[in-house]
Amino acid sequence: MPVHNEDIAAVFDEIADLLEIEGDNPFRIRAYRNGARTLRELGEDIRALVERGEKITGFPGIGKNLAEKIHEILDTGQCAALQKLRKQLPADLTELLKLPGLGPKRVHALYHELDIHTLEQLERAARDGLIQHLPGFGAKTELHLLETVQAHADTARRFKLAVVGRYAEPLLEYLEGAPAVKTVAVAGSYRRARETVGDLDILVIARNGRAVIEHFVAYDEVDSVLASGTTRATVMLRNGLQVDVRVVAAVSYGAALHYFTGSRAHNIAVRGIARKHGLKVNEYGVFRGKKRIAGKTEDEVFGSIGLPWIPPELRENRGEIEAARAGMLPTLVETGDLRGDLHAHSRASDGHESIEVMARAAKERGLQYLAITDHSKRLTVAHGLDSKRVLAQIQAVEAFNAGDHGITLLTGIEVDILEDGSLDLPDAVLSRLDVVIGAVHSRFELSRAKQTRRILHAMDNPNFTLLAHPSGRLIDRREPYDVDMTRIIRHARERGCFLELNAHPERLDLLDTHCQRARDEGVLVSINSDAHSSADFDNLRFGVGQARRGWLEKSDVLNTRPLTALRKLLAATR
């Protein structure tokens, strides 16, 4: 069976999790996490690199030990080190790690102190009031865990958008090779750029539906075939993702694409409008009585009810139909509109590469400027910069810009917002930087009032430029901290600073609804990669997808400006 980067990364993550539960060496644990991150960020499948004979130990975080394990997994599909760890610990233990708020350290405590290693045991212990007595937990955490376990039991598995993309793109290419295929397209929440995807819907136009279905179910990533007919099949991939393929007639393609793209709320609203026109809209077309009057394209479907085409990312029944009717649909931002990136890390803190390598990678992706914003000293785990190292990095950036590289570097810092709202470096240092990104990296559990005051106070610092990943959430791993985002957005407007839309697939933060609120309040949003390696710049497309869901146009995005205009906006925040 084929092995992908995501498969090997998952192995390394599980090894790291099990080692941390065991209380192993933190440097060893970090090595596996860094290796997993590198694999996910590679723009090419690691198998292809190995087959070409390329040396993989040159990649960030991939040393001799991890390289050997990569070769082992590629050759055998197994990892002996993982198998050994699994035998040492209960099989269900890693299921606990899937709960938001439960990292390996807390699972270590639950396992070693209370012998909890299943979700059922966790729920029972929480109900019995046993967890609150463990160091670092408490009654509030115990209640949260109980609620989380119950919610987890009721929620179907969803996959991060970027993960689905790694499987969707090769599958589309494979389907395009089926006999007599004319068109292949992804619909569903993936097309709408939802941050997570439950299953994958694919539509195909082809002359021979049966041949397409036979070709599809023979795909080497298929683990099981749930249903198969002459024009439709449902399978489960080896990673647990369900995929539905439908072969549709060309005359119905637009209607089917609209119907299966959704969302359900949007489709219901469209059908309601159609009924007022004496029409019926379904996956086969638009009908007046029994006569099909439209359906070949989505333009026809929308046009039949008096609307212009609505971009898929807006189809959530959050005002897009009213805007379309009024001729007020936004011209959504595109990846090609971005002129630069204002949040990137180098190996000076927890990045993997030099500022020169990061600059070259940004330039290769068409960017004209890049802000180097390593962490400040408070984040010791990231080897954050103190004042002396910040000043040295300013000199390094100035030296780079003295050459002719075709891209301009901006000086910057991702400075920790401390609990009292002060910033982690003195104003005398911050004032010398082009970009000061404030970020919350600690005390996520503060009350709504305290967390909000903390951030508002930080934004009032005269050197503050923009707020990084404003809600602090990690998708499926950490809930957003409790903060009054409306006040944050309005304060950004009053203060004259900006908000980040962090494009990392695990963050996608701002939320789409907060992007829309920022747009309505006139607050510019910066779509940033938060790159820690050169491959991370490719994540900008996911940030753009989130921005489009938030109705953002090119003019709403800070880093669509050319450098001269950007510098004026940055200076105006001081």
Per-residue pLDDT tens digits for 203-222:
999 999 999 999 999 999 99
Is residue 492 within 8 Å of residue 460, measured between CB atoms?
no
Q: Where in the chain is the domain with CATH 1.10.150.20?
A: 96-155
Query: At residue 527, does pLDDT exceed 90?
Result: yes
Task: Between 128 and 356, name the one with better pLDDT.
Answer: 356
Closest to 501 measured CA to CA, from 530, 466, 525: 525
Query: At residue 52, does pLDDT exceed 90?
Result: no
Sequence length of the chain is: 574
- The CATH fold of domain 1-89: DNA polymerase; domain 1 (1.10.150)
Q: What is the mean pLDDT of residues 59-88?
A: 88
- Which pLDDT score is estimated for 154? 53
Share of the chain above pLDDT 90, in %: 70
Query: At residue 382, does pLDDT exceed 80?
Result: no
Q: Where in the chain is the domain with CATH 3.30.460.10?
A: 159-247
Could you read off the pLDDT of 556-566 as tens digits, one per residue?
Answer: 999 999 999 99
Alpha helices in 238-307 (DSSP H): 253-261, 264-276, 298-304
CATH code: domain 159-247 is 3.30.460.10
Closest to 367 measured CA to CA, from 414, 406, 396: 406
Of the listed ranges 46-60, 306-320, 399-413, 416-430, the one predicted with least confidence: 46-60
**Superfamily (CATH) of domain 252-325:** DNA polymerase, thumb domain (3.30.210.10)
- Which pLDDT score is estimated for 383? 87
Name the pTM for this structure: 0.81
- The CATH fold of domain 96-155: DNA polymerase; domain 1 (1.10.150)
Query: SS3 for 80?
Result: helix
Closest to 462 measured CA to CA, from 431, 440, 489: 431
Q: What is the mean pLDDT of residues 482-486?
A: 92
Residue 91 — very low, low, confident or very high, per pLDDT cuts 50/70/90? low
Of the listed ranges 152-156, 337-341, 401-405, 534-538, the one predicted with least confidence: 152-156
Helix axes 161-176, 209-217, angle to 10 degrees: 130
Q: Which residues contact 205 (CB under 8 A, 6 or more apart)?
A: 181, 182, 183, 247, 248, 249, 250, 253
Alpha helices in 282-383 (DSSP H): 298-304, 320-325, 355-364
Q: How many helices (H) and strands (E) does the chain have?
A: 24, 17
Residue 194 — very low, low, confident or very high, per pLDDT cuts 50/70/90? very high
Q: Where in the chain is the domain with CATH 1.10.150.110?
A: 1-89
Residue 512 — very low, low, confident or very high, per pLDDT cuts 50/70/90? very high
Residue 1 — very low, low, confident or very high, per pLDDT cuts 50/70/90? low
**Superfamily (CATH) of domain 335-572:** Metal-dependent hydrolases (3.20.20.140)
Q: Where in the chain is the domain with CATH 3.30.210.10?
A: 252-325
Q: What is the mean pLDDT of residues 89-110?
A: 78
Task: Between 52 and 273, name the one with better pLDDT.
Answer: 273
User: Exposure string (b/e) for 272-298, b if CB count within 10 Å is 16 or more?
Assistant: ebbeeeebbbbbbbbbeeeebebbbbb
- Which pLDDT score is estimated for 157? 74
What is the token pair recorded at 386?
């103190």
- Which pLDDT score is estimated for 135? 86
Could you read off the pLDDT of 120-129 as tens digits, one per residue?
Answer: 788 888 888 8
Q: What is the mean pLDDT of residues 540-557?
A: 98
Give the HSE-up count for residue 190: Cα atoms under 13 Å, Cβ half-sphere: 26
CA dist 24 and 444 (Å) reads 26
What is the token pair recorded at 176?
């395009």
Alpha helices in 237-369 (DSSP H): 253-261, 264-276, 298-304, 320-325, 355-364
Is residue 182 within 8 Å of residue 205, measured between CB atoms?
yes
